[in-house]
Amino acid sequence: MVRAPCCDEESSLKKGPWTTEEDAKLMDYISRNGHGSWRALPKLAGLNRCGKSCRLRWTNYLRPDIKRGKFSEEEERVIINLHSVLGNKWSKIATHLPGRTDNEIKNYWNTQLRKKLLHMGIDPNTHRPRTDLNQLLDLSKLLSVASVGNSNMMTSPWDNSLKLKAAAGAAQLTKMQLLQHLYMMPVVRTSNSRVPPNNYNVDLMNHYSSLFGSHILNPFGGGHVNRASTMLSGQEWNLQADIVDGFHAISNSLEGFEGGFGAQGVISSNSPDQENMSSSCCYDDIYVQTKNHPLPALVSSSSVYPGTSSSAANQMEISMGGPAAPARTAIFDAWEKLMDDETSESYWKDILEYVLAD
């Protein structure tokens, strides 16, 4: 059967924003009688509205137990957690957030939380790392660098065979970038914000870590995310994952490779202080590039908070001249495992050996 829309037969009924008079009538009636039958209510309350409109106005706005104002970090965390399990079941999610309506949560998700997750590189629908077109477009740039024919980046001391190897290397970098996109949350640039981490953000990151598995988050070995911090009001995310150490180490080991891949790490240390969480040492713009053709960043930046994080110490070590050779070998081995292409092994070994022997 085809049912007539709720208010069709009563098209003279008012629609649109509610006036204070209407609100007062509705509140007065419900406080004295309860809502009873929503369909019957408007007539009984003296309102020229359909019952559906009255119910919506009451449940989303007039109900006395409605909480107003900004969502707390805890509420955000609950919403994200529940959404990852329940999906768009706003009413179910709302039952876990006293005073919040499903409509309010839905709006907050669509206007705020979705964006936050997208900035983190998380697909808000699946709660998994994004693999969308925009990110793949970055890869196309990277691939173009790998094209040897029209490249003017290879100058002395590169010979032809090394050019080929570098091209293959760029292709592997592309792979690496793809893996990064597939397997981890990108580290978002926040070079000027050094916000102390808090439990909410660490919880959030570990939530995703548990969804993806720490081995996926960190193919270089190690554990969960060490630190995650954010400026909620600024909608700026700043994540720190162990995987960053691996990229730092690799890019650092390539540093100074004249005419080829270079890496640049800038460290700013604000006199690390174990007692003061606002102190930080911070990498800005860790990236891998060719001399004339900058590559998209493998890692943008991250803030590292001194103290409990062992990776902070590792990064310090890297910044001061890189890890010892055995550490580089270990990192290389880990990387090699990621590459199932039989060509990558020898090419990268050649390049790295060339660099390390220099």
Partner DNA sequence: AACAACGTCAACCGCGACGAC
Partner DNA sequence: CGTCGTCGCGGTTGACGTTGT
Nearest residue (CB) to DNA, 11 versus 156: 11
Give yes or no for residue 38 binding DNA (CB under 7 A). yes
What Cα–Cα distance (Å) separates residue 106 from each residue in 5, 76, 113? 24, 12, 10
**Could you give the angle at which helices 160-183 and 342-357 cross, rounded to 10 degrees?**
110
227 bridge partner residues: 240
Angle formed at CA 148 by CA 248 and CA 261, multiple of 5 degrees = 20
Nearest residue (CB) to DNA, 103 versus 191: 103
DSSP for 280-340, written as a single string: -EEEEEEEEE-SSSBPPPS---EEE-TTT-HHHHHHHHHHTT---HHHHHHHHHHHHHH--
Give yes or no for residue 37 binding DNA (CB under 7 A). yes
Give yes or no for residue 237 binding DNA (CB under 7 A). no
Give yes or no for residue 78 binding DNA (CB under 7 A). no
CB of 196 to DNA, least distance (A): 24
CB of 6 to DNA, least distance (A): 6
- Largest Cα separation within the chain, whole Å, is 90
CB of 114 to DNA, least distance (A): 9
Give yes or no for residue 326 binding DNA (CB under 7 A). no
Q: Lay out the site mask for DNA across 11-30 (x = CB under 7 A, - = otherwise).
A: ---xxxxx------------
Give yes or no for residue 106 binding DNA (CB under 7 A). yes
Q: Which of 26, 79, 80, 102 forms a contact with DNA (CB under 7 A)? A: 102
- CA dist 332 and 358 (Å) reads 17
Give yes or no for residue 103 binding DNA (CB under 7 A). yes
Residues 115-134 close enough to bind DNA by CB under 7 A: 115
Q: Which of 27, 55, 178, 277 forms a contact with DNA (CB under 7 A)? A: 55
- CA dist 198 and 163 (Å) reads 47
Give yes or no for residue 56 binding DNA (CB under 7 A). yes
Instruction: Return the range that interacts with DNA (CB under 7 A); candidates 83-91, 180-188, 253-261, 336-344.
Output: 83-91
- DSSP, collapsed to helix, strand or coil, labels residue 241 as coil
Nearest residue (CB) to DNA, 105 versus 171: 105
CB of 61 to DNA, least distance (A): 5
Q: Which of 77, 81, 84, 92 forms a contact with DNA (CB under 7 A)? A: 92
DSSP for 64-132, written as a single string: TT---SPPPHHHHHHHHHHHHHH-S-HHHHHTTSTT--HHHHHHHIIIIIHHHHHHTTEETTTTEE---
Amino acid identity at 329: T
Nearest residue (CB) to DNA, 51 versus 169: 51
Give yes or no for residue 32 binding DNA (CB under 7 A). no
Contacts to DNA by CB under 7 A: 1, 3, 5-7, 14-18, 36-39, 51-53, 55-57, 60-61, 88-92, 102-104, 106-108, 110-112, 115
